[in-house]
Amino acid sequence: MLSRSLAISFVFAIFSTTAYAENTGSVLAISTDNDLFAPTQTDRDYTAGVSITYSSNSDGFSNNVFSRATGNIDQRLLGGFFQLPLKPVSTALEFGAYGFTPEKIEAKTIDRDDRPYSSLVYISSSRSYQQPGSGAGWTTSLTVGALGLDVFKSGQNTIHKAIGSERAEGWGHQISEGGEPTLRYSAAYHQYLNASQPDRKFKVTYFGSVGYLTEFGAALVFRDGLISSPDNRFNPELMAYGERAPSVSTPGGREDYFWGGMSVKARAYNALLQGQFRDSDHELGANDLNILLAEVWAGYTHSFWAGTELSYVLRVQSSEIRSGKGNRTLAWGGLVLSKRLGAS
């Protein structure tokens, strides 16, 4: 019921703002991740995700209820300390789901030596700000959702049946089985470096979040090639597994570029491994997890016709778990198809 309410709210917010779609800053994107898209071809850890994102620089869209809620938090938490602008240069809404499995998915019993099953269904609102007269900006996001629903379980097993893969049998032991509300607020400060040129962009980002993922860190990001989308709407360093709302670029003209980066972060809490307030059949403790994590990524973006772009990214992250079978590097690939609305 909660996942249906989130979906209805997302659709209502999008359709209530379709009058602004002719603004060339409006973009609709469909994203999918899968560890099978990586060279390792595994089916474990962060196994898959799917999302749909709508972003726009129109004033009408930035006034939707989700964006206003995020803006109120931004001003309370950041405005007084960092002179955050009152008006964002762009906003985005995203609805999606993603999930995690241990290595052996055919067993119905719990493998205490591996990671637990877990999943998240969410809706996320993000806002991008530009600091006047400086080469710096902010990106914030507020995500609300539910852990432990059967949405991802059903989707994964339907796909596995269609392609003849093994059924994942352990979802009855997932984190917060049956559903538990959750949320996360994140903020990031971007410093666009002087070394940047029209065909080569560099930035450093300092970021942090509190909620089901509580962490802070820093990242170095670059793009190289034919670039037309604005820097403030290209934030691959802010992806949290399948969540991309602050990270969908806006195709303006022709684009053809490579991109990549690296980040280091200290993570204090991960509800997808540790659980939340409800007891779960299988969850890990803080002492079972690594605090310091490193991530690297590389991608390629190419535009086709009428403001349409396709991007591919490969991401590799150091192990989240200290020991046992779960102590392994995570790798997954992602595809993003985006369309600038109003383009022809």
pLDDT (tens digit per residue) in 204-216: 999 999 999 999 9
Cβ(245)–Cβ(93) below 8 Å: yes
When pLDDT is averaged across residues 7-14 and rounded to a whole number, the result is 45
Domain spans of the chain, in order of start: 2-340
Q: What is the CATH number of domain 2-340?
A: 2.40.128.140
Four-CA torsion 50, 284, 43, 103, nearest 10 degrees: -160
pLDDT tens per residue across span 66-125: 999 999 999 999 987 888 888 999 999 999 999 999 999 888 899 999 999 999 999 999
- Using 50, 70 and 90 to split pLDDT, how confident is the model at 247? low
Cβ(31)–Cβ(74) below 8 Å: no
* The pLDDT of residue 242 is above 50: yes
Q: Where are the beta strands (DSSP E) in the chain?
A: 27-34, 45-56, 90-101, 118-130, 136-147, 180-192, 200-211, 213-226, 256-270, 292-303, 308-317, 330-340
**What is the pTM for the complete model shown?**
0.89
Q: Sort 205 into a burial class: Cβ within 10 Å, 0-12 / 13-18 / 19+.
A: buried
* The pLDDT of residue 284 is above 90: yes
Give the burial string for 109-133 (b: 16+ CB within 10 Å, else e).
eebeebbbbbbbbbbbbbbbbbbee
Q: Sort 28 into a burial class: Cβ within 10 Å, 0-12 / 13-18 / 19+.
A: middle
Q: Sort 152 into a burial class: Cβ within 10 Å, 0-12 / 13-18 / 19+.
A: buried
pLDDT tens per residue across span 34-77: 887 888 767 788 989 999 999 988 888 888 899 999 999 999 99
Residues in the chain: 344
Cβ(259)–Cβ(300) below 8 Å: yes
pLDDT tens per residue across span 180-198: 999 999 999 999 887 777 7
When pLDDT is averaged across residues 236-253 and rounded to a whole number, the result is 78
